[in-house]
Each structure stands twice: as structure tokens, then as C-alpha cells.
Amino acid sequence: MNPSDSPRPISETTPLIPSSASKKPKTPLPKLQIGILLMLQISEPIASTSIFPYINQLIRELDITGGDDAAVGYYAGMIESLFFVTQALTVLRWSRLSDRIGRKPVLLIGLSGACISILAFGLSTTFWSLVISRCLCGLLNGNIGVIKTMIGEMTDSTNMAQAFSLIPVVWSFGSFFGPLLGGTLARPQDHWPALFAHPFWSKYRYFLPCAVAACLLALAVLIMLFFLEETLSTKHRPKLASATLNVSSDPEDDREALAQIPKANVPLRSLLIPTVMIPITNYTILCFVDIALKVLLPLFFSTPVYLGGLGLTPSSIGSWLALFGIVDGAFQALFFPKMVGWLGPKRLFCVSVSCFAPVMIVFPIMSWLMETRGTVDRAVTFALLSQLLLIVIWDMAFASIFLFITASAPSKNVLGAINGLGQTSASVARAVGPALATSLFAFSKEHNILNGNAVYVILIILGGGLRWLASQLPDEIKDRDE
């Protein structure tokens, strides 16, 4: 082969976000394809979070706690976490399978599994049937890792930040709309007795929100089948019967070796290298402390003032959480691409994760204000709005780390496996985080450790560890367009 025809080597110092001196023309986003992927993604948080408003009441009605209301939260928390636990067991396998058979078939299996499981949940009349339906949803669902892989394959260095900034936006909207759907449509025979007079609705009081969520998933399946284009390239796949890879000390050698191996034969061990594991470790801890923050917010809002909370009513809690979600989603969509272009991915990620400690510090400040003032006055409202601003900046860390994970792939033929590895770690973090955070909160308050603020101190320490890990990310991330 003529040397002039050989592909240009990819330099580790080639930035994902080009400098202004060598800035490339921005490639237009494939809006239809990205829009379909985002629609597939939004259907999942709607389906998974629509159970939150009524899960506690459903468990009470199943009478599995023997009338012990204090045990309801234990069973509800178990059901809510099962999705992430079972997803962690299989999401990597689904992502690697997508490297072999294509992205669309794996998405089809995941959406179909979510559709069937949510219907089964609505028809469940025992605790174990609820458990099985949630486990089924997690086991069959590897969609989020595959969707991130497809977005990475559809974009280049000029528009990748814009595309990945939409993922947190869509997830926030779905997580807002899902509980609204579940709370509005649960027990329809109580709200619209004339329309839902059939005995079926008295027996299966929570089937309607599940059925609507299942319809959204079914619609997503149809749109995906007819309009979504496959992004897995098979035109130049090497015809090798088998291949092995030894990890070398030179990342360039690893990249060239990986590029020659068929997707299905790339050993997972070959991906456990610092350039891959540092972004994934950052993402894992980010997910852990973020889910801890997300469960602490409503818990702190609802905790009585004498225990160090705000003592807000459910309607007030819903209003504040909705405001947080709307403002956060709008900011990510409008400003993240500009911020990452201005600061660069690493600096923006470091700034974002640095906001976690101030977010935690606002909690005891609000406790002190409520204890001294006794009501949510202007000072408490200002503290809440300040915390909202900090959370908005904090959430930009997600879109930033997605850029690092996508660019960490030694070659494009392992992008699915790397996203699967990242999502596996994230699922484990999100399964453990809620129970640990709420237990620490209760233990801190019950034993008055550090005046009830020990939970915040521990999370601040974890946030400090994340800030140090952020400093280990590469200063610039390579451009895969060449």
C-alpha cells in the first residue's frame, strides 16, 4: 500500500473541541435521527418513574407489611432499586451484543421488555409479581448505553457536545412527566367513576398509568423500526476467524490492534486501561453522589423542622422539584454547548463537580434558618434558589463526562462495550446510592451526629474525591473525525 494512502494517525493531543485558530465548520446535527433516539430515551424514565407516586399506597393495599406503615418504605425502596440492580447485571452484555448484531435489535429487545414489564406491573396483585416485573425490566434493558453509543456514532467533534447536552434534558423531562402521569391516572375509578365503573378497574387500580406508559413504549418501538437508521458499520469489517490482544504500554499500539479485531472478539480485559477507566470511574462516582443528592432533596424537604428539615407539604415539594427540573433542563439545552466551547470539557467538568460541596452546605444552612425563623421566609427561599443554581451547574458534569467516555474508546469498534461498561458501573452506583444516603440521613438525625449533619459531611468528602478524580482526566480529548 502506498504510504500516502495510509490513514492519518490520531494524536492523543488532538482536542475534541477545536481551538478557535483551527476551528472546523460545525456539522449540522442529524436532527431526525437524534430526535428519534431522544424519544426512545424519554419513554424509559416516564415508564420507570410513573410508579413513584403510588408505589407506597400499592404496597399498603397488598398488605405485605402486616399493617406496619414504617416497613412500607423498605419494600418500596427495594422495588425502586431492583431495576438498577438487575440492569447492572446485563447492561454490559447488551452493549457488547449491539457491537455484534447491531444497535436497533438490542433497542427493540429493551423497549419491548420495558413495555411487557410495565404492563405486568400494572396487573400485579402480589409483592413477588411486582418484584418479577421490575427485574424483567432491568434484565432486558440495555438501551441507555446503546443510545449513547449511537449518538457518538452519529456526531463528530463539532456537534457532539450539542447532542450529548440533550441527554440530561430529556431525562429530566421524562422524570418530571412520569410521576405526573402516575399520580394523575392511578385509581381512575375514584376520579372518573362513570368512565371506569367496570370491576376490572377496582381489581387493578394502578393499571391505567402502566397501560399509558406501555403505549408510549409501543409507539417508540414502531417509530424506531420504520425511521431509525442503524449506525453500526459492517462494510469494512475484517474477516478474521479469531483474534487475541495483549495490552501494551503504548496506547497507540493498543488502538491499532483493537481496530483490527472484529467487534464481537474484542476481549473486555483489553478495555481496562487508564484512558478508559478514569472517565468511567468519574462517571460512577458522579452517579453515586448525584442519586444521593436526588433522594435527599425530597427527604429533607419533607422532614419536620424539629429534625432539621423544612417540613414542606407534598404539594410544595412537588412544586420545588418541578421548578428544579424545568430550570435545569432548559439551562442544559441552551447553555451547555456554549459553556463547553468556552471552558473546554475538562475545566467545565471540574467546575461542575466543585459545586457539590456548596450544594451540601446549603442543607444545614436552611436547617438553621428554619430553626431560627420557623417558616419558609425570604431567607430560606433565597437559600433554595441558590441551591437550585448550584445544582444546575452541577448537572453539566453529566454531559461533560459523556464526551470523555465516548472519546476514550481506543477504536470505534469497542464504543458499545465501553458505554456498556460505564452504564454497568452507573447502575450499581444508582442501586446502592439511595439506600445508603437515606440510611445515613436517618442515622445522623437519630443519633444527632455532628448536630444531625454527618450525612452531608460524608457526601462532601466523596465529592472531594470526585474533584480529585476529575483532575486526572486528560486536558484535551482526542478528535475521532480523522
Report pLDDT digits (tens) over 56-80.
678 778 877 666 655 565 676 677 6
Question: 460-475 b/e with 16+ CB inside 10 Å = b?
Answer: beebeebbebbeebbe
Q: How many CA atoms lie within 13 A of 436 on its CB side?
A: 16
Assess whether pLDDT exceeds 80 at residue 251: no
Q: How far apart are CA 144 and CA 148, in angstroms?
A: 6
Residue type, position 240, single letter: L
Cell numbers linked to 368: 438553621
The pLDDT score that the predictor gives to residue 479 is: 57
Assess whether pLDDT exceeds 50 at residue 49: yes
Q: Which residue has the higher pLDDT, 141 or 136?
A: 136
Q: Which residue has the higher pLDDT, 161 or 239?
A: 161
Q: Which residues contact 466 (CB under 8 A, 6 or more apart)?
A: 282, 285, 286, 289, 353, 356
Q: How far apart are CA 181 and CA 313, in angstroms?
A: 20
Cell numbers linked to 97: 451484543
User: Which stretches within 28-70 are classed as H helix?
Assistant: 31-49, 55-62
The pLDDT score that the predictor gives to residue 72 is: 62
What separation in angstroms does the CA of 355 have from each of 248, 254, 331, 349?
Answer: 38, 36, 16, 10
The pLDDT score that the predictor gives to residue 438 is: 75
291, 138 in Cβ contact below 8 A?
no
3-state SS, residue 235 = coil
Q: How many CA atoms lie within 13 A of 278 on its CB side?
A: 18
Domains and CATH numbers, the chain: 27-229 (1.20.1250.20), 275-477 (1.20.1250.20)
Q: How far apart are CA 18 and CA 276, in angstroms?
A: 22
Q: How far apart are CA 209 and CA 179, in angstroms?
A: 10
Assess whether pLDDT exceeds 90 at residue 460: yes
How many C-beta atoms surround the C-beta of residue 154 within 10 A? Answer: 17
Residue whose C-alpha is closest to residue 63's, from 125, 115, 152: 125
Q: What is the greatest pairwise CA distance in the chain?
A: 79
147, 34 in Cβ contact below 8 A?
no
The pLDDT score that the predictor gives to residue 267 is: 66
Q: Which residues contact 126 (CB under 8 A, 6 or more apart)?
A: 62
Q: How far apart are CA 172 and CA 396, in angstroms?
A: 13
Verdict on whether the full-model pTM lies above 0.75: no
Assess whether pLDDT exceeds 70 at residue 121: yes
